[in-house]
């Protein structure tokens, strides 16, 4: 089983639309992993059935038993994260501020505080509209540690691919270059970098490629809306040539794609969309390249 990871140095480049198109092209030969857990939106295109829902915990959180608490205030005094508040005369832990260090529990004179597992979100196992399996997730608002949830999604996707004899896991990675992206990239056989012809697009492509290069992952690039700025497109082309990155496709700006997306369809589902055919060629190129490795 090989992993193909689609990433971008920033949000809004069209990464998810490209990944969803690849997911449709891959039909039932793959498992899809939506690792953009902080802003998951592959479900908009792929219509998952949410057949299994699982809790996800990360780290710990202090919890005060109001029956035992004598309101002495010692816990609030020692908490350096100001995570303990007084509401209507009672001490409460502010979940979003608590780091789960456990110090408050040590100073509590009546053992009213215990640490509980921190519930930060859910992960799902679904079947999508092509019949393929998909693992996806959702973080709770303000929750941290999305890198760990990304690792969980990838692990479950790999398990599903192994148990159902699929050759590929297609991963929609997080934008940026932080912990969730690094987690998305670990173990990848090929990275697809999606960018746009702007100076920030080039800058973020350079940043995200520095991570891919460090992992020594072969990479290809898709320039979305390539015809919007020819000068910046040419600068991206130069960068790709210099770094020996495959130029997979230059997708033209096409307003019809927005209409398709609003209807929950991908670029490859309308034969009139030129970008769909280009992505079809890119997908075949990637699969052939992986067969050779």
Give the residues lining the site for ligand SF4 (CB under 6 A).
Answer: 62, 64, 69-75, 79, 81, 83-84, 91, 93, 98-104, 108, 110, 112-113
CB of 119 to ligand SF4, least distance (A): 15
Q: Tell me how far, at minimum, the Cβ of 94 lies from ligand SF4, in Å.
A: 8
* Nearer CB in complex with ligand SF4: 87/262: 87
Shortest separation between residue 137's beta carbon and ligand SF4, angstroms: 25
Q: Is the CB of 81 or the CB of 253 nearer to ligand SF4?
A: 81
- For the CB of residue 140, give the shortest distance to ligand SF4 in the complex, in Å: 17
The neighbouring-strand residues paired with 34 are 172
Residue 69 or 151 having the CB closest to ligand SF4 = 69
Q: Among residues 40 and 61, whose Cβ is nearest to ligand SF4?
A: 61
Of 59 and 218, which CB lies nearer to ligand SF4 in the complex structure? 59
Q: How far is the CB of 88 from ligand SF4 (least distance, A)?
A: 14
């Amino acid at each position: 089983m090989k992993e193909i990871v689609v990433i971008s140095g920033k949000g809004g480049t069209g990464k998810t639309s490209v990944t969803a198109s690849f997911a449709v092209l891959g039909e039932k030969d793959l498992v899809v992993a939506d690792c953009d857990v902080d802003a998951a939106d592959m479900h908009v295109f792929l219509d998952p059935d949410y057949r299994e829902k699982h809790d996800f915990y990360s780290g710990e959180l202090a919890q005060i038993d109001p029956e035992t608490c004598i309101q002495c205030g010692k816990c609030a005094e020692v908490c350096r994260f100001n995570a303990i508040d007084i509401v209507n005369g009672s001490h409460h832990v502010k979940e979003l501020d608590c780091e789960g260090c456990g110090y408050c529990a040590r100073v509590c004179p009546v053992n009213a505080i215990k640490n509980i597992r921190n519930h930060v979100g859910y992960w799902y196992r679904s079947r999508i509209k092509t019949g393929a399996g998909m693992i996806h997730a959702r973080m709770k608002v303000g929750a941290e540690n999305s890198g760990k949830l990304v690792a969980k999604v990838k692990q479950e996707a790999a398990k599903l691919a192994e148990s159902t004899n699929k050759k590929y896991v297609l991963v929609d990675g997080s934008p940026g270059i932080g912990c969730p992206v690094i987690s998305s990239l670990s173990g990848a056989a090929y990275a697809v970098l999606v960018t746009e012809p702007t100076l920030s697009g080039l800058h973020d492509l350079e940043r995200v490629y520095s991570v891919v290069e460090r992992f020594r992952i072969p990479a290809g690039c898709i320039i979305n809306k390539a015809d919007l700025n020819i000068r910046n497109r040419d600068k991206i082309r130069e960068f790709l040539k210099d770094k020996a990155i495959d130029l997979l496709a230059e997708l033209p700006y096409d307003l019809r794609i927005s209409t398709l997306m609003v209807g929950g369809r991908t670029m490859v589902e309308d034969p009139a969309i030129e970008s769909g055919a280009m992505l079809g060629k890119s997908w075949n190129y990637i699969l052939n390249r992986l067969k050779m490795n």
